[in-house]
Structure 1
Amino acid sequence: MRYVIAPILRDPQEREERLSEVTMRVWEKIDVFQEERGSWNGWLTSLTRHTALNHARRISRHGGAEALSEDPPSPELTPEEALLRQERQTAL
């Protein structure tokens, strides 16, 4: 995953933070992975790359100062996640 992030983010600390973020995103979204749509390596690479690119965009928009939301993330499923979960339960 480091080789995916390295060309996008130059700061070593930023790289480490994004690697931690990717690890958490994999943990949270592992049930979204569908083997029939692609390989594990492709999914992980895509998730890693998009995380790094999104962070780089946030940095460029805010001039290096990342704005933190004061609202905690909602524990509820998004409509897409709820639909995917329902489809998996129906398939089982």
Structure 2
Amino acid sequence: MNTVGIVSNIMGQTVALDWHNDTVDELLAKFSSVNSSVERTGGFTSIERNTLFQVVARNNSLFIDMVGKLGIKDRSDTAWNLSQYEGLHEGMRKEFELDERFRVS
């Protein structure tokens, strides 16, 4: 049962990262648009300023969700309390590249 818990936790995290990645791509597109406009004009319109604040706020919310709610940087309780499961936990994290995918999100 402990193995199932670790596997399901990692699978849940990888699915959540995929879902969040789509949102990150949308935020990057908005930021790129605002950035191009500022580069051309040298300033923000009020709409661009509001968009930039919304992008930053949404980015912060995503980060809080991934770290706080998903525990993307945490070791599982099972791996923490039962050392024989640590290898499984770390192996799956590496297999699904959770740290790398989180870093580039």
Query: Quick check: TM above 0.5?
Result: no
* Greater C-alpha radius of gyration: 2
TM-score (norm 1): 0.29
What TM-score do the two structures reach when normalised by structure 2?
0.26
